[in-house]
A and B are shown apart, each in its own frame.
Chain A
Amino acid sequence: MAEEHTRSFTTKRGEFTVRVMQDKLAAHAEEDVGHAKSDRKFNIRVKQDDLCLLDALAKAYGVTRSTLINQILHDILRDELRSIEEGDARVLLAHVADLSASYDELSLPWVYDALGPNFRHMLHSMLEYSNPHGQPPDVSMPAGYQYTEEDYRSTTYLGLRDKLKGLAK
């Protein structure tokens, strides 16, 4: 069996042999498919006249009817989630939904939608103060000392910051 997945070839540097362990590949693939692919189907009742508009929009934007319905469903659910005024309840619902989902790396979980402005606040705080609380860093320095980024940033942050600055030039 291993022979079927072995290939030998010659380059300028000599002969190479490449072997693919199919057993491991298959096991890994099954794992991935099980996590990333949703098999859940829904039968949704759509008004006949809505189908006309769905199809016209889908044709105009070069997408399938199914893609458009999925986008609409996502928007409906996101806005329903965001309509919950109490932040803790909103995040709880989002978190429970996320626990049942298998996201790939590119998917944004519901908690991101639920946190909304708070998430942006946390992001701002992390970038500004290196903590998610929105508080200036607690740095023990003599009174009147003007602290700089170097006093409270992680060394990784500082190194990465400099590299990114270099990229921007």
Chain B
Amino acid sequence: MTNGILSKLINEIGEAQADVRAESYSMVNVRPGDKVAVMLDLLSKLAGKSPSALVTDEISRRLADYAASSTSNVDVIMNAAEHALDRENAYGFQEGSALDYLQKAGILEIEDPIKKQVRETHIASKKN
């Protein structure tokens, strides 16, 4: 098994794609109620950060918690993973995203086409 050369190549592809996808954000316009708005304003002033910078990463963690909070969310996670992986150049999830947290927690597993091919080749070579 030529795992040295191939695994290095696979890792490099994965890292390159992760770098590209890590920068992939959307701006979402929200109009929260007054309660949330005043506290978000206040904390962002105290922290010297924009409201967005204050919550972006935490939203990912919360989303992962929400998704993991119920066994009835299996299809929800599956649908989201399919949608995320369906996008161009997606071989994995964005670093620090909720799906990434779920994957790291062992709740979600993916096998990308390259890894699948490697595994099948490995099995075939063993049979022969």
Q: Please report A residues at the B interface, Cβ cutoff 8 Å.
A: 36-57, 59-60, 65-66, 69-70, 72-77, 80-81, 93, 96-98, 100-103, 107-110
Contacts and interface: CB of A to CB of B under 8 A. Distances in A.
Contact of A57 (B33, B67, B81): B67
The size bracket of the interface on B is 35 or more
Contacts of B80: 49, 52-53, 55-57
- Determine chain B's interface SS by DSSP, over half rule: helix
Contacts, number: 180
Given A56-B80, A76-B59, A38 B30 contact: no
B66 A42 contact: no
Contacts of A74: 32, 35-36
Contacts of B127: none
Interface string B16-58: 0000010011111111111111111111000000011101101
Contacts of B64: 53
Given A47-B60, A69-B59, A41 B27 contact: no
Contact of B42 (A56, A100, A102, A108): A100
Contacts of A103: 34-35
Nearest to B87: A48
Given A56-B76, A75-B62, A44 B35 contact: no
